[in-house]
Amino acid sequence: MTDPGAPSAAPAGPPGGAGHRLPPRFASAPSAPLLTPLTRRRRRRPRGPVVAGVIGAVAVVAALAITQVSAALGFDDASARVETAARAVDAQRSEVDHRYAALLESTDAGHVILDTGSPTLPVPEESWSALTAAVADGEGIGAAVEDAVAADRPPARDKPAWFWELFGTTAQLEDDERALVELDANLERASADASRGRDAVAESGLAVLATAGQAATAFEAAHVSARNDAVIALRDAAADVAAVTTIDDTAVAAYVALQDAAAQVVATEAAELSEKDGPLRGARLEIEAFARSLAPGVLLEFDWAATVNGAGANGAGANGSMGGYTTWWWDEPGRAVIQLSDSVAQQWPADRSKALVAHEVGHAISVKCQGMYDSSTQDSIEKWATAWAISMGFTDDANGVWAYGYPPQNYIDAAAGCR
Residue partners of 252: CB distance under 8 A and separation at least 6? 109, 112, 113
- Upstream peptide bond of 349 is cis (omega within 30 degrees of 0): yes
What SS3 class is residue 394? coil
Please tell me the predicted confidence (pLDDT) of residue 49: 61
Please tell me the predicted confidence (pLDDT) of residue 20: 40
What SS3 class is residue 340? strand
Q: What angle do CA 372, 328, 342 make, to 5 degrees?
A: 115
Task: Compute the distance between CA of residue 234 and CA of residue 230 in angstroms, rounded to an integer.
Answer: 6
Q: Which residues pair with 335 in a beta bridge?
A: 299
Please tell me the predicted confidence (pLDDT) of residue 393: 97
The rounded radius of gyration (Å) of the Cα atoms in the chain is 59
324 φ, ψ (degrees, to nearest 5)? -150, 155
H or E stretch at 32: none
Q: What angle do CA 271, 273, 278 make, to 5 degrees?
A: 120
What SS3 class is residue 103? helix
Task: Compute the distance between CA of residue 375 and CA of residue 187 in angstroms, rounded to an integer.
Answer: 70
Please tell me the predicted confidence (pLDDT) of residue 313: 61
Please tell me the predicted confidence (pLDDT) of residue 298: 95
Please tell me the predicted confidence (pLDDT) of residue 30: 46
Please tell me the predicted confidence (pLDDT) of residue 24: 45
Task: Compute the distance between CA of residue 314 and CA of residue 321 in angstroms, rounded to an integer.
Answer: 11
Q: Decide: 234 and 93 in contact? Cβ < 8 Å.
A: no
Write out the residue limits of the CATH 1.20.1260 domain(s) in the chain: 55-221
95 CB-contact burial (10 Å; exposed 0-12 / middle 13-18 / buried 19+): middle
Amino acid (1-letter code) at residue 361 = V
Going by C-alpha positions, the residue among 264, 258, 254, 283 that lies closest to residue 223 is 264
Residue partners of 263: CB distance under 8 A and separation at least 6? 120
Buried b (16+ CB within 10 A) or exposed e, 37-75: eeeeeeeeeeeeeeeeeeeeeeeeeeeeeeeeeebbebb
Please tell me the predicted confidence (pLDDT) of residue 158: 83
- Which parts of the chain have pLDDT scores under 70? 1-54, 56, 311-314
Buried b (16+ CB within 10 A) or exposed e, 188-202: bebbebbbebbbbbb
What's the topology of domain 55-221? Ferritin (1.20.1260)
H or E stretch at 303: strand 299-305
71 φ, ψ (degrees, to nearest 5)? -65, -40
Please tell me the predicted confidence (pLDDT) of residue 41: 52
109 CB-contact burial (10 Å; exposed 0-12 / middle 13-18 / buried 19+): buried
Q: Decide: 189 and 96 in contact? Cβ < 8 Å.
A: no
Going by C-alpha positions, the residue among 264, 282, 275 that lies closest to residue 226 is 264
Report the interhelical angle of 351-365 vs 281-294 (nearest 10°): 50
Predicted confidence (pLDDT) per residue in 1-57, tens digit: 333 343 333 334 434 444 444 344 444 444 444 444 444 455 555 555 655 666 767
